[in-house]
Structure 1
Amino acid sequence: MLGSRISNFARQFTTSAIRRGGHGGTPGENLPFSIDNRFKVTALFILFFGSGLAAPFLVLRHQMLKK
């Protein structure tokens, strides 16, 4: 009895969540940057992730060169 109530609630909740949230837009529409130019997006991704990856090595180099 309780299991069927929980199952019923879960089914209704997911159905209503899909109904409310599924706007059916185009991919990338909700991103804070444009993905129309793939070369620009690639360069931005390389800069963003490359800076995060390079930061520890640059800090280490700076610390090792200090006197």
Structure 2
Amino acid sequence: MSDHYAVRCTGCAFTWNTPAMAEGLRVLGSCPKCRGELEFRDDAPTASAASDARPADAAAAPHMVLGIPRI
């Protein structure tokens, strides 16, 4: 087993290697394979760049952003 991982399941020992997967698993809270406890290499959650830089129209209604729905 390699010690180079972003997240490791303590139940099934499966590992994930990317920061994006670590962020998603933080939200999920448990292993999607066995529902085991997750061990994060860095215990501090990282802020997403997308959540920090919100565009001015982020509060716009979906129909204003996506356009008129097709029927």
TM-score w.r.t. length of structure 2: 0.27
If you compute each CA radius of gyration, which structure gives the higher value, 1 or 2? 1
Higher strand proportion, which one?
Answer: 2
- Taking CA–CA contacts closer than 8 Å with sequence separation of 6 or more, which of the two structures ends up with the larger relative contact order? 2
TM-score w.r.t. length of structure 1: 0.28
Higher helix proportion, which one?
Answer: 1
